[in-house]
Structure 1
């Protein structure tokens, strides 16, 4: 058993009302339902069905409300219906985040003078150990002005001295490197990243580390002919010019396999998603869109893209002939329309002058003949066939 009652959103209990007040309000609504129904004062008034067992609740507990969409809000006393919060539309998958362990950091290197001193010291130690063992050649002894000494020979102590000083010399001279502007080295040891060297001049780098050179200068790359499409889906052949550089050497060399190939693949993918127009027909907007898209996709790989601009746009061979004929037809149609407008204006001006000055008196038939003759004459003077000529009428 159920009864009906009328209410407006403004009369509904607010969320902060107590459960007892809610029950009393419900009972009052049930009692008012037995009286005559008043006239509607609000046009958008709605009538809902309330189950009878909800009108005579013994315990003043909260009324369970079935779960539903969240209410955004409403204005009190205005009769405004509740606005339901709609979920935001799902977006595309975000780009993968770069590995934090592959973030570029400076490697530990020493000035080149330290390597030179270590190498010279190791060489001097080798000569001294050889003289001590008595195996230094006579010309070297004379050149170095060392006294004649017949050593005990190469014993364990002499071998240890030669090995130590020789290793020092090899490490000193073997670690010397020359850093150049626009070049960097990515250092690694047993597959691990040990830092990047961007310094210039004579440096000493641990010779046990693997050095991988990287070009960090600003570079231009002109692509070959790549497939693309315009806003209407017509196939195009596009060549783009990309201005880029390596920003993070660790991610560019260790995070991906071949950063130049990755850049080329990102450009090809962007051309497949961004419509490209012919020069003068939206090519600048397409270049801006390509730049933003490629820069966002190559940023996790340590590349910085400044510009991606189409430098050559042409139709694909399979549609070039059809598009060329269509463009010629459109140009011919515009030229003919311009010519017809000019002829009509000239004929109208001529007929108006003749009649306004009283040079000729024309009835409707004579006017038509005069207009036709003038049209034929003007079209013939412009080198166009006269479609209203007497030959065609005959």
Structure 2
């Protein structure tokens, strides 16, 4: 018999004689032994498949606390929500604009050019020439040159005055030309913008939106109606106005979607639970609306109540509980009154009652007291 050690040792071959008399070399079984397991023959860890040399390790369950590494299984696939990938070219960038003084000067230059062309053609009235300090000029009439001068100066005046715009704090202009995004104007004051560009006004101020009663549920799946207050603003005007049809409608739908995934606690619950629900709602809604250029700062429930059908059932249950409590209180009071009456009658010697008479008196007094308690005051 081989000697066991705390670790697996190399096998030794010893010739032994079989009962039949034929001496052949028999390999003794190899053993595994440590402080956490008993002696286990090594050959039990292998399965013979066909040839003796083709052996594969068998599946052995790992024991906790033995220091052995657990067998790693195949990780379960992680399902991820589809992410929005906005157009990388559709990103807010500043547009090229000029100060408003440039537009005013161009407009005044166009008006002055039209007056000069009129004086040149001799069509300027005498009182207008006197008011402007221009000498009388017989004029050459309205010819091709005069009409060309009118067209040039008129276009200059129209471009100068037509491109004037007023930039306001908290507002922005989103500019486009033939369906292509040309930039965003966030500057304030009097500006000159190319009048050929299409302008879309965007509100970039910090805004808040109070929702209506949105369906939700608590941790136990009970239907609720939640009113939330959302604090948000437009961060990227290009994506908010051009990347999506209605960014405000999309924000409302994202709030409803988040309420369907996050359990909301009632106001009477733990305050930390309500804060956790608000933080979870803020995180989900902010992640959903970020690709469309909207920034969400807070989504907090301001009113939480049961759904109408749940509220009606809970009201009936509450009324039944109050009625049962009132009945139990009334019955206890009646029993105490009957007991006190019978005890006082018998202890004072006013009446002598046997068991039958005592039961009848108790029954009559109970009916009388209950009838008196049920009568309206």
TM-score using structure 2 length: 0.71
Q: Distance in 1 between matches of 2:233 and 2:13?
A: 77
Q: Does residue 287 in structure 1 map to residue 286 in structure 2? A: no
Q: 1:89 Cα shift?
A: 3.7
Which stretch shifts more, 211-220 or 310-319? 310-319
8 Å Cα contact 1:243-1:305 kept in structure 2: yes
Equivalent residues, number: 309
Equivalent residues in 2 for 1:45-194, closer than 5 Å = 45=40, 46-51=44-49, 55=53, 80=68, 83-194=71-182
Q: Does residue 35 in structure 1 map to residue 27 in structure 2? A: yes
Change in 2 beyond 3 A, CA 1:335/1:85: farther
Q: 1:301 Cα shift?
A: 1.0
Q: Distance in 1 between matches of 2:12 and 2:110?
A: 104
Change in 2 beyond 3 A, CA 1:334/1:294: farther
Paired position in structure 2 for 1:224: 212
- CA shift digits 1:150-207 (9 cap, x unpaired): 2211212111111111111111111111101000010011111011100000111111
Q: Distance in 2 between matches of 1:146 and 1:294?
A: 69
Paired position in structure 2 for 1:240: 228
- The SS at the match of 2:89 is helix
Paired position in structure 2 for 1:275: 263
Q: CA RMSD in A?
A: 3.6
Paired position in structure 1 for 2:304: 313
Q: 1:52 Cα shift?
A: 6.3
Q: Distance in 2 between matches of 1:191 and 1:29?
A: 88
Poorly superposed stretches of 4+, deviation over 6 Å: 28-33, 330-337
Q: Distance in 1 between matches of 2:191 and 2:52?
A: 87
TM-score using structure 1 length: 0.68
Q: 1:79 Cα shift?
A: 7.6
Q: 1:267 Cα shift?
A: 1.1
Mark the runs of 5 or more structure 2 residues left unpaired by the alignment.
1-6, 16-24, 57-65, 341-361, 368-377
Which stretch shifts more, 269-278 or 164-173? 269-278
Match of 1:304 among 295, 304, 308: 295
Paired position in structure 1 for 2:59: none
Q: 1:236 Cα shift?
A: 1.8
Q: 1:271 Cα shift?
A: 1.5
- The SS at the match of 1:102 is coil
Change in 2 beyond 3 A, CA 1:299/1:334: farther
Paired position in structure 2 for 1:74: none
Q: Distance in 2 between matches of 1:140 and 1:31?
A: 135
Paired position in structure 2 for 1:385: none
8 Å Cα contact 1:30-1:55 kept in structure 2: no
Q: Distance in 2 between matches of 1:225 and 1:209?
A: 42
Paired position in structure 2 for 1:323: 314
Q: Distance in 2 between matches of 1:99 and 1:303?
A: 15
- The SS at the match of 1:221 is strand
Which stretch shifts more, 104-113 or 31-40? 31-40
